[in-house]
């Protein structure tokens, strides 16, 4: 499987569709897989929702979204890949609206609804992945479709009164040069000063203090970027907030700094939250994927909201995941970790665990030596993970073998910057890293490491880390969800009962561990035959 498609909740049932090859372990023969759940944790597979059978999608039913029309009626919009790689947008409807599982879908006889023509100046081979639709103040439905013109990425805007006849707007909702093809765009509102989610079509007026998020999946980088800004409903344009207008992407945030792509959100009307899903790719080579018989997973569903400062989004695993926690966690309080400390976490199933830890680093940060940035510019965070002039590293060793020949480390480093601006305030930079370089003795795997800057003042705030470990996937959340890093690792020694879990301090001074709580995690029921 790859891209998540059309997540929604209908008649009390959560639906997840996804790009799927029913005939093989790797990409090809792309259809829409379909699974349902009552709790977003345990899932039941259903028959394929869409298969490539029509002339306009004979080469694949590609990504798209679900929309709940008036009367809570669900529909799917998806991209069909036809002859000559032409891409069109198509509509599918449930055969039986009384069926909460929506097992059967039928295509509209009017498909394709939107096709590239000489009159609409659309690149026929770069035109895909329609968003969830939203209602404008004029009563018209709107969707975005990803595209490109030369090296400029585009979020093309289309409008419709009846969800069948669509008209392309004169201008894209937003575009940016030097970004290439925009896949899987997503566009949704978020509350200011609230962790609650917002329904996609909520009107943006004086009764609601809203911002909007525009997310782009950049195929050239295989990364998901997002911008926060204001949606001008009259002009149908998106205006990024200050700091998000850099079209070179150097100042734009990512959902996740590891393996996480083609993400999709939906509004959960039961718990009034917005939920984010992302595709987590493999790190193994193709022949090993074929040998094991599958590839691709969906990450843990995440609740997403606007951080108090309004400068970035916060992501956190949905609360339902906590149902899998064991009843007796390991709990530590106020431990001093001496330099070189490596403490084993006993009694935890290290191959399947949930760990939350926080560090008090005020005294440690004070001892950092000032570091002059080269050329006045910050280095890439990945390069700073191994920088010896910083304080650290300290954090967790996960999926570790007994002799530590294999381990994945998730850690922090702290740097104190020189003050070129004549400001007396001390400036610190915190880098969060996920190092896979020693995660496996199988060197055919992708052993890349990932990193990101964490916006936190170590003199006044603790550094927190939550890591979810599930055999081959490590999802880490730093600063209570400010930074997320997902890794795929394939240890050969640290598997099942042979895996171990540690907290460590490789800083040159003592470090205070304020709290640590670790849970063994039960298995979710996935591909169960019962609902």
Structural contact between residues 404 and 397, judged by C-beta atoms closer than 8 angstroms: yes
* From 3, 129, 268, 470, the catalytic residue: 3
How many residues are there in the chain? 531
Nearest Cα residue to 1 out of 283, 412, 220, 295: 295
Look at residue 419 and give its three-state secondary structure: coil
Residues 107, 93: Cα–Cα separation, whole Å: 6
Q: Print the SS3 string covering 332-351.
A: EEEEEECCCEEEECCCCCCC
Nearest Cα residue to 336 out of 507, 464, 195: 507
Enter the tokens of residue 460: 């006044």
Pairing assessment for the beta strands 463-470 and 31-37 based on DSSP bridges: unpaired
Query: Helices then strands (H, E): number in the chain?
Result: 3, 37
Residues 158, 529: Cα–Cα separation, whole Å: 40
Contacts of residue 138, defined as CB under 8 A and 6 or more positions apart, other chains included, come to: none
Residues 174, 9: Cα–Cα separation, whole Å: 29
Pairing assessment for the beta strands 370-371 and 408-417 based on DSSP bridges: parallel
Cis bond leading into 85, ω under 30°?
no
Cis bond leading into 388, ω under 30°?
no
Residues 324, 353: Cα–Cα separation, whole Å: 9
Structural contact between residues 260 and 224, judged by C-beta atoms closer than 8 angstroms: yes
Nearest Cα residue to 133 out of 142, 124, 122, 123: 142
Nearest Cα residue to 258 out of 310, 227, 314, 299: 299
Contacts of residue 178, defined as CB under 8 A and 6 or more positions apart, other chains included, come to: 151, 152, 247, 248
Structural contact between residues 364 and 414, judged by C-beta atoms closer than 8 angstroms: yes
Look at residue 365 and give its three-state secondary structure: helix
Residues 469, 353: Cα–Cα separation, whole Å: 5
Residue 246 appears among annotated catalytic residues: no
Residues 398, 410: Cα–Cα separation, whole Å: 8
DSSP letter, residue 355: E
Q: Report, as residue numbers or ranges, the catalytic residues.
A: 3
């Amino acid at each position: 499987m790859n891209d998540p498609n059309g997540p929604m909740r209908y008649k009390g049932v959560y639906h997840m569709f996804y790009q799927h090859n029913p005939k093989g372990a790797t990409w090809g023969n792309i259809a829409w897989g379909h699974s349902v759940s009552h709790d977003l944790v345990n899932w039941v597979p259903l028959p394929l929702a869409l298969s490539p059978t029509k002339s306009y999608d004979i080469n694949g039913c590609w990504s798209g979204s679900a929309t709940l029309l008036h009367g809570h009626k669900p529909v799917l919009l998806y991209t069909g890949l036809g002859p000559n790689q032409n891409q069109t947008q198509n509509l599918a409807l449930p055969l039986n609206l009384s069926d909460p599982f929506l097992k059967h879908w039928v295509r509209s006889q009017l498909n394709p609804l939107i096709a590239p023509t000489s009159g609409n100046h659309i690149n026929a081979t770069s035109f895909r992945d329609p968003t969830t639709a939203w209602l404008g103040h004029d009563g018209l439905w709107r969707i975005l479709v990803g595209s490109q013109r030369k090296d400029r990425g585009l979020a093309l805007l289309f409008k419709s009164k009846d969800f069948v006849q669509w008209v392309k707007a004169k201008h894209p909702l937003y575009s940016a040069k030097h970004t290439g093809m925009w896949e899987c765009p997503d566009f949704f509102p978020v509350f200011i000063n609230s962790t609650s989610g917002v329904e996609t079509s909520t009107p943006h007026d004086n009764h609601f203090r809203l911002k909007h998020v525009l997310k782009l999946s950049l195929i050239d980088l295989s990364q998901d970027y997002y911008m926060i800004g204001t949606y001008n409903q009259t002009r149908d344009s998106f205006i990024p907030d200050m700091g998000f207008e850099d079209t070179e992407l150097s100042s734009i945030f990512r959902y996740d700094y590891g393996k996480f792509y083609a993400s999709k959100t939906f509004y959960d009307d039961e718990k009034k939250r917005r939920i984010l899903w992302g595709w987590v790719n493999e790190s193994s080579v193709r022949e090993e994927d074929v040998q094991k018989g599958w590839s691709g997973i969906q990450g843990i569903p995440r609740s997403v909201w606007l951080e108090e400062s309004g400068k970035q989004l916060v992501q956190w695993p949905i609360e339902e995941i906590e149902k899998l926690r064991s009843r007796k966690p390991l709990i530590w309080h106020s431990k001093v970790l001496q330099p070189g400390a490596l403490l084993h976490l006993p009694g935890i199933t290290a191959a399947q665990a949930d760990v939350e830890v926080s560090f008090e680093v005020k005294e440690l940060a004070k001892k950092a030596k000032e570091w002059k940035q080269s050329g006045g510019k910050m280095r890439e965070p990945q390069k700073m993970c191994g920088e010896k002039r910083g304080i650290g590293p300290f954090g967790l060793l996960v999926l570790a073998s007994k002799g530590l020949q294999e381990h994945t480390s998730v850690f922090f480093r702290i740097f104190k910057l020189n003050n070129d601006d004549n400001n007396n305030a001390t400036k610190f930079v915190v880098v969060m890293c996920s190092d896979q370089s020693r995660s496996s003795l199988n060197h055919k795997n992708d052993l890349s490491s990932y990193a990101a800057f964490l916006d936190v003042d170590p003199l006044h705030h603790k550094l927190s880390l939550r890591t979810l470990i599930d055999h081959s996937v490590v999802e880490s959340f730093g600063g209570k969800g400010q930074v997320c890093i997902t890794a795929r690792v394939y240890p050969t020694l640290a598997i099942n009962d042979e895996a171990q879990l540690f907290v460590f301090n490789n800083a040159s001074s003592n470090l205070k561990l304020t709290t640590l709580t670790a849970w063994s995690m039960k298995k979710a029921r996935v591909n169960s035959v019962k609902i």
